Amino acid sequence: MTGFPAVRPRRLRRTPALRRLAAHTSVRGADLVLPMFVKEGITEPVPVPSMPGVVQHTRDSLRKAAAEAAEAGVGGLILFGIPAVKDGRGSAADDPGGIIQAALRDVTAEVGNDIVVMADLCLCEYTDHGHCGVLTDSGAVDNDATLERYAATAVAQARAGAHVVAPSGMMDGQVAAIRRALDEAGEPEVAICAYAVKYASCFYGPFRDAAEGAPRFGDRASYQQDPSAADALREALLDVDEGADIVIVKPALPYLDIVAQVAAAVPVPVAAYQVSGEYAMAEAAAARGWLDRDRAIMETLTAIKRAGAGIILTYWAAEAARRLG
């Protein structure tokens, strides 16, 4: 015996109220961003089979769902557009009359500044080959030609009402090119949420069903990061130097160590994307009674927040925000 009173950590776990009072990490609805898909040419929402509860929206159903998310207390929305016609350069991505620009106008008219409206900025949903950029004759992604397309798309999205553009293609120099284009177009207040750390992951499969953006050949390993590489901090710091206002780590749960490293190193907010595969695994296990769905949702969100992500992109955003009050 040392003479000191016995240390009993369980004292602060005895009741729900004590546990809440002593909690080190808390998730708020305002921390959450809801990914939403809108498809051109459909008349009713189309369920995504590999993502229970997620749909490809019509423009009308998107407006309604955006308003419901804002009412629930969600902090932001990120929109993904699926055009009726695709081509090799992703022409619909920066078309002022294209589906993503139309959806941005719809949503900002519906919710205004009550919720942050973000636009995914990539070409994979818009190209007929499914890659994230313009291709060379040999079939490789042309980095610099793709930057020109990203810049044009960023300006189109900003003019359609996006508060934040989110380049996700992992091209070298994408943040600098987009920041320059926005500033020159008179849109300096539009923020950039950069996918700075995006791994070539197997966990994106259900998303590619939802966004109809799977590559028609090859893969994205030449521009997305290798899961075993040690270049996450370099990529994140480069994007911050180029003008990123927020940086994203994607996926979230398999890379909580990377979330923590990035959060400790950068001077801007860090987001983590709880991707479609993470969502689908939990939903599938819960449907079979293998885990408690509600607890799994909150436990995973808490883990991501505890790792250092101040912003979490999750398909459970509206549901979780309602639960959090």
Residue 7 pLDDT grade (very low, low, confident, very high; cuts 50, 70, 90): confident
Stretch among 6-10, 258-262, 307-311 having the lowest mean pLDDT:
6-10
- Write the single-letter amino acid at 88: G
Bridge partners of 312?
32, 272
Q: For each of the domains in the chain, give its residue range(s) and CATH number, in order of start.
A: 25-324 (3.20.20.70)
- Write the single-letter amino acid at 153: T
CA–CA dist 69, 311 (Å, integer): 16
Q: What would the 3-class secondary structure string for 282-319 be? A: HHHHHHCCCCCHHHHHHHHHHHHHHHCCCEEECCCHHH
Task: Check 39, 64, 86, 198 and give the catalytic one.
Answer: 198
How far from 19 is each of 24, 247, 325, CA to CA, in Å?
A: 10, 31, 18
Q: Which of 17-21, 168-172, 318-322 has the highest mean pLDDT?
A: 318-322
CB 27 within 8 A of CB 298: yes
Residue 154 has pLDDT above 90, yes or no: yes
Q: Is 250 a catalytic residue?
A: yes
Task: Read off the pLDDT of each residue in 121-140 and give the average, rounded to a whole number.
Answer: 89
Residue 217 pLDDT grade (very low, low, confident, very high; cuts 50, 70, 90): low
Global pTM value? 0.93
Residue 220 has pLDDT above 90, yes or no: no
Question: Strands 46-47, 55-57: parallel, antiparallel or unpaired by DSSP?
Answer: antiparallel
Task: Check 39, 86, 250, 305 and give the catalytic one.
Answer: 250
CA–CA dist 93, 90 (Å, integer): 6
Per residue in 226-238, pLDDT tens?
888 889 999 999 9
Question: Strands 246-250, 270-273: parallel, antiparallel or unpaired by DSSP?
Answer: parallel
Number of H helices, E strands in the chain: 11, 10
